[in-house]
A and B are shown apart, each in its own frame.
Chain A
Amino acid sequence: MTRDLRHAHRRAWLVLPIALIALLMVADATRRRAERAIRPVSVQEPSP
């Protein structure tokens, strides 16, 4: 592989994991928020 292509590969593998892990963390946080929002809330029965 030529020198410039090799450098392009290295740059790609330095940037890609950071961007993708960040995306996964944001996506998972969104999922958790949505999951919490639809979780049934326990309602305390009024005392007689």
Chain B
Amino acid sequence: MSVGYVAVQWSPHKRRYDAAAAAAVVVFLGSWVVAGKLMWRGNHALSDEVLILRGLGACAAVLLHVILAIGPLARLDRRFLPVLYNRRHLGVMTFLVALTHALLAIGYYHGFGVVSPLISLLTSNTSVSSLRGFPFEWLGLVTLAILFLMAATSHDFWLKNLGARAWKRLHMLVYVAYAALVGHVALGALQTDRGGVYVWIVGAGVVMLSGMHLAAALRETPIDAGKAASANGETWLDVGAADEIPMDRARIVAARGRERIAVFRHKDGFSAVTNVCAHQGGPLGEGKVIDGCITCPWHGWQYRPGDGCSPPPFTEKIATHAVRITRGRVEVSVRAMPPGTALPPARVLDAVEERRND
């Protein structure tokens, strides 16, 4: 969290994650080379350089698909959350694989002339008006540049200095990178594919990813349609019956057109905070209360339910919302209090006493 930076805060989980990802890359490349040797034989045999070069490109493309699938998968099924935790490591690995692919390609196809390989890449083919002869390498270069930008700014240092909002917007460039990658394949490898298989493989990837993202979005749509009612100058949103929220868990609600709110039940009662984590905007309401603190499911950032402050020595603060219980139903105020504002938790007992007094 906010106290000091180290290059990578290694943990056994991160080591296992990186080892598994590196092993998967090695297995993919090994399988690609073996399959390539078996499939293209005799007059159609490919040189080892070209086989590895294509294998690295395919590996980077598969990794990018995995990265883009992790987000919706984690929203559709909580069992994918551990994969989301170190997604940035996978991003850096994708950049390194794509970089190796690019270096090999530039060296192999542009490295033997008198002109600098990079200059040759950018000037040898400029027929942008033709689809068949389009300089598809440029699109690969765009993908690589974005992957580099994302890998270089993946550390929490940049997240803190750019601000979560700007950082997230910058990292949404991954969609541009994905579009450029599809263009790179469609106007490059696909044009020399005699069987027409590539178009189906790439198309299946596009359909799969968009299907996952749209399914996750559709599932969350009802959350944003909460009905708010105004009383005494305050707008309250019905959360549900008090016993419907499990202990140390939350229910996410939102008034139409407003930011989402996570209403937690904990040992002291019911408290509400913004659903947006101060770190990367993770969904706090999908996390749980651990050691008395609301814990973000994405990277484990913690906040006290009563005031939205991170426990010392950390200094992050998030907005809180007033909660009340009326006739056994939990209601939350749509008005966000300034980050770190302490609010007393609502208790079922308080509500019972209030009714007795009435």
- The residue on B at minimum CB distance from A19 is B179
CB-nearest residue of chain A relative to B221? A10
Q: What count of chain A residues pass the 8 Å CB interface test? A: 25
Structural contact, B214 and A13, CB atoms closer than 8 A = yes
A9 near B213 with CB under 8 A, answer yes
Contact with A along B257-281 (1 / 0, CB 8 A): 0111000000000000000100001
Question: Is A3 close to B, CB under 8 A?
Answer: yes
Give the complex CA separation of A19 and B168 in angstroms: 23
CB of A47 within 8 A of chain B?
no
Cβ of A12 within 8 Å of any chain B Cβ, yes or no, is yes
Interface of A is mostly: helix
In the complex, B79 has a CB within 8 A of chain A: no
A43 at the B interface (CB under 8 A): no
Chain B proximity of A38: nearest CB distance (Å): 10
How many residues in B have their beta carbons less than 8 Å from beta carbons of A?
Answer: 37
If over half of B's interface residues share one DSSP class (helix, strand or loop), that class is named, otherwise mixed; here it is helix
CB neighbors of B among A6-48 (8 A):
8-10, 12-14, 16-17, 19-21, 23-24, 26-28, 30-32, 34-35
* Contact indicator per residue, chain B 140-174, by CB within 8 Å of chain A (1) or not (0): 00000000000000000000000001001100100
Determine the chain A residues whose CB is within 8 A of the CB of B340 once the complex forms.
none
> Is B203 within 8 A of A1, CB to CB?
no
Could you tell me if A24 and B203 are in contact, using CB atoms closer than 8 angstroms? yes
How many angstroms from the CA of A30 to the CA of B260 in the assembled complex?
Answer: 47
Instruction: Give the docked Cα–Cα distance between A5 and B277 (Å).
Output: 13
7 closest Cβ pairs, A-B complex: A17-B210, A27-B186, A13-B213, A1-B281, A28-B199, A30-B131, A20-B206
Interchain residue pairs with CB less than 8 A apart (22) = A1-B276, A2-B259, A2-B276, A2-B281, A3-B254, A5-B168, A5-B169, A9-B172, A9-B217, A10-B213, A16-B178, A20-B182, A27-B186, A27-B187, A27-B190, A28-B190, A30-B132, A30-B191, A31-B190, A31-B199, A34-B132, A34-B191
Q: Interface residues, chain B, CB within 8 Å of chain A?
A: 131-132, 165, 168-169, 172, 175, 178-179, 182-183, 186-187, 190-191, 193-194, 196, 199, 202-203, 206-207, 209-210, 213-214, 217, 224, 254, 258-260, 276, 281-283
* Interface residues in chain A, defined as those with a beta carbon under 8 Å from any beta carbon in chain B: 1-3, 5, 8-10, 12-14, 16-17, 19-21, 23-24, 26-28, 30-32, 34-35
